[in-house]
Amino acid sequence: MTLILSRSALSKVQASIVIVVILVGAALAMYGYSVSNKPAKARLIVSTTTSLYETGFLDELKSKFELKYPNMNVSFISQGTGLAIQTAMRSDADMILVHDPASESQFLTGGYGVNRKILAYNFFVVVGPSEDPAGIKGKSPSDAFKAIRSAGLDGTAIWVSRGDNSGTYSKEKSLWKGIGLDVKDLRKEVWYLEAGSTMTATLKLANEKRAYTLTDIGTYLLNFNNHNIDLVELVEAGKSMLNVYSAIADNPKNANMTRANFEGSMQFIRYLVSDEGQQLFADFGTSKYGMPLFKPYVKLLQSQSDPTLIQWISDLAFFEGSECPQQFRYQAEDLYSIPPAVPVLVMSMLTEVEQRKAPAWIRSSKA
């Protein structure tokens, strides 16, 4: 059946179509206006270490931070600590999140960074095959490294090093140096291998070679539980195996860093040391591994639950008696206030010699 419309009816249909088109166009225009006028998110680039990335902590951190601050978009560049610091020095990142106090000190003194803040800690461990050919289980780190070297020379043990200018590699070099050995000389010996890669890749190579290696506990647990490796912990936590993570903002007074997002960096650092940020460290890994992969430092400091460990961290990671000496602070004094949980009683319980050796923030509580 053919439908025939009168001229007047046809005109009404055409008019209705025109109105619909106008309304749709107006709606699209309003949507386009709202999108185009929506404030752009501020971008923050953090140059950081592979252990934080490989464990998945950075994904969790990004999610929680951006949920709290929807105006921010955080991106991470994951490398060994040495490369991470170089990236920031080239002004290709706004801040660093790393774990090598000696390199961090150079970053500050070189005029590249400000407002260093210690965030978290864990421990390095020496892992190896369960058969333990060098017999290092239960030994101190120095005795274990001596035994590995001796077994290596005998052809019964192999060591795999990161060899990549990472914080882990810096720790390894210091442990060899502690027994009078230099990695430059060790490289010439056939039992000493270098992966030149990430911690996960190094662990997999050590597993393949049935070798020993030094690793942060977080990356080890991740790979062990994922059945990537079957190496076991042989030398565990102790002062010389301490691993401390810190954040440092790019120095806005450095002429080469003027385009760095200083405000965003400080917002990020303040989040990391806040109750919420510290709880994120405390919770991450607990349900899966029965322990946090990165333990919160600020919470430890406020609770004073382990004065010995606090002193270890001070000995390893403080410069001039402080996590960040006064000359390297910029518009961030609120970060360095004395934790409220520290009573004057802490100082009264120490001998005069111990008081002089105590961290600056504890000494100042005496007054």
SS (H, E, C) 163-185: CCCCHHHHHHHHHHHHCCCCHHH
* CATH number given to 42-122+243-342: 3.40.190.10
Higher-confidence position of 236 and 63: 63
pLDDT, residue 35, reads: 43
Tell me how far apart the alpha carbons of residues 242 and 202 are, in angstroms, rounded to a whole number.
20
Give the position of tokens 């460990």.
309
Strands 42-49 and 95-98: parallel
Distance between CA 220 and CA 230 in Å, rounded?
A: 10
| Range list of β-strands (E), the chain | 42-49, 72-79, 95-98, 113-128, 159-161, 192-194, 213-216, 232-235, 242-250, 295-296
Residue 82: how many CA atoms within 13 Å on its side-chain side?
13
Contact 104, 114 (CB under 8 A): no
**Where residue 352 falls among pLDDT bands split at 50, 70, 90?**
low
Amino acid symbol at 112 = Y
Task: Assign 273 a pLDDT band (cuts: 50, 70, 90).
Answer: very high
User: Does 115 score more than 80 pLDDT?
Assistant: yes
Predicted structure pTM score? 0.81
The answer to whether residues 115 and 329 touch, using CB atoms and an 8 Å cutoff, is yes
Same fold, 42-122+243-342 and 124-241: yes
Q: Over the stretch 3-36, which tens digit does the pLDDT of each residue have?
A: 444 545 445 545 455 454 444 454 445 545 444 4
If pLDDT is split at 50, 70 and 90, which confidence band does 344 have? very low
To the question of domain 124-241 being in CATH 3.40.190.10, the answer is yes
DSSP state letter for 306: -
pLDDT per residue as tens digits for the range 147-188: 999 999 999 999 999 998 888 999 999 999 999 999 999 999
Domain ranges for the chain, please list them: 42-122+243-342, 124-241, 343-367
Range of weakest confidence among 73-77, 156-160, 163-167, 225-229: 163-167
Across residues 240-247, what is the average pLDDT? 96
The values of phi and psi at residue 247, to 5°, are -115, 145
